[in-house]
Structure 1
Amino acid sequence: MILLTRKAEFSAAHFYWNDALSQQENERIFGKCANRNGHGHNYTLEVTVAGEVDPITGFVVDLKKLKDILEQEVVGVYDHRHLNLEIPDFATVIPTTENIAIAIWRRLAGKIPNATLHRVRVYEMPDLFADFYGDFGPEAEAGAGN
């Protein structure tokens, strides 16, 4: 087995806010990120897949197909969007770096032919990223592998 990672980039806005908390609590916990107008980031996404090298092509996956899947499932959906206001993935979840990584995993699980999704890494900034290696439960097992 070998791991292969592909990068993609998207720009999006978000804010941190929990409706169960008061305005004061939100501002204390989330600081200036609680500004309901939002702020933006240029995100870098790394998607790592695991699989066997095809003896004919030398690839784990069709690289163009992987790029197309990332475009269709993530970049085309998240790029130049306000995550809180426009993306159903975050209707009830705060779009933190951690939750964005989880949402992307769920968007990609089971959609990459001939490989298993191994890791989703989302960089919010060059010095801040979150890694997600999948859910751990029956729901994940049904959709995590190929």
Structure 2
Amino acid sequence: MAGHVNLAYDYPVLGAFWTAMWVFLWIMWVILLFRVVLDVFRDDTMNGWAKAGWLVFVLVLPFLGVFVYVVVRGRDMGRREQQHVRAQREEVERYLRDTAGTGTSAADQLAKLSEIRARGDLSDEEFARAKEKILH
């Protein structure tokens, strides 16, 4: 072995700390960059040219672009994120309501069943079976 072998104790603790810090900051920078790009696309108040301008600015000069975007438009980023989450939640709830059925209670279903029976469209035997199905 002619060359020098690097061992774990050749790397100082302070060097490991700085490496971990730079990796952490780089990951945070990438997350912030993605958040800004998503916010540009999510913002309905900007027209297409404004969105294109911000995207070019953020992608050509990423550090300056993200810094300027956060300073100029950062106040409403949280509001737009909350609106997006609220809209998603409402969409999921609407989908679940539509998929699960009308969402009526057992009492409402029994009242409708009684009306159908009163009109004569349902026999007593069919009413009993349907009532049993609703109650169990």
Structure number with larger C-alpha Rg = 2
The alignment's TM-score, normalised by the length of structure 1, stands at 0.25
Greater share of residues in strand = 1
Greater share of residues in helix = 2
Q: Which of structures 1 and 2 has the larger relative contact order (alpha carbons within 8 angstroms, sep 6+)?
A: 1
The alignment's TM-score, normalised by the length of structure 2, stands at 0.27
